[in-house]
Structure 1
Amino acid sequence: MFCADINKIIPFSSVDGPGNRAAIFLQGCNFNCRYCHNPETRNHCINCMDCVPGCPTNALKNNNGKVEFYPEKCIGCDNCINICKYGATPRIVRLTSRETFEKICENLPFIRGVTFSGGECMLYPDFMREVFSLCKEKNLGTLIDSNGSVDFKKHLGLLEVTDGVMLDIKAYDFDEHIKVTDKGNDIVLKNALFLAERGKLFEIRTVIVPELFDFRKTVDDISRILSPYLERSNIRYKLISYRENGVRKEYRNYRMPNEKELNEAKDIAVKNGFNDIVLI
């Protein structure tokens, strides 16, 4: 049975897929997105101990050189996250797939599905496959929210128990993608086509940051290459306005797109055949 580092579980989410869902955020990410709104999910704790004295409820303790987290004492003040200089959090719980499924079942029958997010949840493919297999026994929907950096072709067993993938398209141009994330996007675009061909691409997402990359080109290019697959299955395009909430201080100098720019992006996607478009 596989385990994963759980950053948090939102028992009832209405923004991580259709209906009321459990959203599970896994720790660790292989991208370094400039506008990341939960940067504490990127790295793992290095046990530097900086956060321990700052916890007002003693939910963190030094246990032989390792930070130990006591979730029953945590009040969610985020002091530890704000103190951390390494893009991490000590508030991690390591669970097996069965333990995670039992957490999900605490909220039955009030949810209709489960979504894995992160960080980058595809860093834990076998763990997700086991959890989703258990979810299918309860007729729960299953979605993955991914940055597309892990080759889905190598995880067909996971896809068999996954209803769909919500795929982030940070930027279409290779160099711009590096500017946004520090990584290239060859595998991201290959995954987009592979998932669309298999009818598993539930949604694509682009965060609109006008000063960071050419969002018009990204929306145009990705909607054009995916448009032939729209007859096979619907693909939602979610266009998300950059906001500084949660973003690291050094990257809060970008401006939000205005309404005209968001509608421009929407019109480009419509021109290329998309009709299920959400502006946020």
Structure 2
Amino acid sequence: MCRAPVNQFLPMSLVDGPGNRCAIFFQGCNLNCSFCHNPETIKIIHSEEENDDIKFYSVDELFEKVKKIRPFIVGITTSGGECTIHHKFLIQFFKKIKTLNLNILVDTNGLIDLSNENMKELVELTDGFMLDIKALEESSHKRITGSSNKTVLKNMHYLAKLGKLEEIRTVLMSGEDNLKIVDTITKELSPYLKIKNIRYKLISYRPFGVRSEFSDLHSVSDNEKEYLKTVAQKNGFTDIVLI
């Protein structure tokens, strides 16, 4: 039986995509971001015995939880951790969710190549992906997350071309080349806006909830954030959210 670890099940959320949605946070992540606000979801576990707070669900069990709240939501969003490391589970789960006529979004760090054949069905079943662009330069991405961003940027173009890039997000931290990130990314994505509008969330780094060794990082000023918004607008983006 296919089972997957769930760290948190939110029956209703207004911040995990458009509309009132069920948000499901899967346990385990393939990155180790310095600014992670859910560090408790990083560790990959294989049984409930490793962590009493994590529940392993079968596809049917998780589907039944969503089915009970179907009248009150417009869709589901799977997140983490990194939910795509459980892609075999998600494929089976999404097939059942489709019978409820619910919108399906996937919140991902983009580290797994979604153009691979074994991910094809997951992409087809998903209505949209919410992708983090944590850094533009590979060296910066490795410093922040521990891994290369080559696959992340590949996924960005792949999903945009398919019209399945729902949202991109960048956490703004002092000392990073935020202008280069926002300007380059929005310029690269602007040709795809005629296929589907893409939301861009510019998120201020906040020290709350992060691990203590990273609590001394700082965000950018409100003025800089507003300027970055105008840069994205100049490059054709109309749906920009400052957080």
TM class by shorter chain equals: over 0.9
TM-score (norm 2): 0.95
Among 136, 148, 156, the residue aligned to 2:98: 136
Residue 23 of structure 1 aligns with which residue?
23
Question: Using the alignment, how far apart are the partners of 2:230 and 2:143 within structure 1?
Answer: 25
Gaps of 5+ in 1: 48-59, 61-65, 68-88
CA RMSD of aligned residues (A): 1.6
Q: Does 1:258 align with 2:191?
A: no
Residue type of the partner of 1:150? I
Asked whether the 8 Å contact 1:170–1:206 carries over to 2, the reply is yes
Partner of 1:101: 63
Distance in 2, Cα, partners of 1:201 & 1:167: 8
After superposition, residues 129-208 of structure 1 pair within 5 angstroms as 129-154=91-116, 155-208=119-172
Alpha-carbon separation, structure 2, partners of 1:261 and 1:30: 31
Corresponding residue for 1:216?
Answer: 179
Detail structure 1 runs of 4+ shifted over 4 Å in the superposition: none
Partners in 1 of 2:70 and 2:108 — Cα distance?
A: 25
Q: CA deviation at 1:28?
A: 0.7
Deviation at 1:118, TM superposition (A): 0.3
* Corresponding residue of 2:78: 116
* CA positional deviation for 1:3: 1.4
User: Which structure has the bigger radius of gyration?
Assistant: 1
Q: Measure the CA separation in 1 of the matches of 2:24 and 2:55.
A: 12
Which structure shows the higher helix fraction? 2
Q: CA deviation at 1:254?
A: 1.3
CA distance in 2: counterparts of 1:163 and 1:198, whole angstroms: 11
User: For 1:245, what is the secondary structure of its paired residue?
Assistant: coil
1:52 counterpart residue number = none
What SS does the corresponding residue of 1:124 show, helix, strand or coil? helix
Question: How far is 1:90 from its partner?
Answer: 3.8
How many angstroms does 1:15 deviate by?
A: 0.4
Q: Is 2:173 aligned against 1:225? A: no
Equivalenced residue count is 241
Structure 2, unaligned stretches of length 5 or more? Answer: none
Residue pair 1:45, 1:90 contacting (<8 A) in 2 also:
no
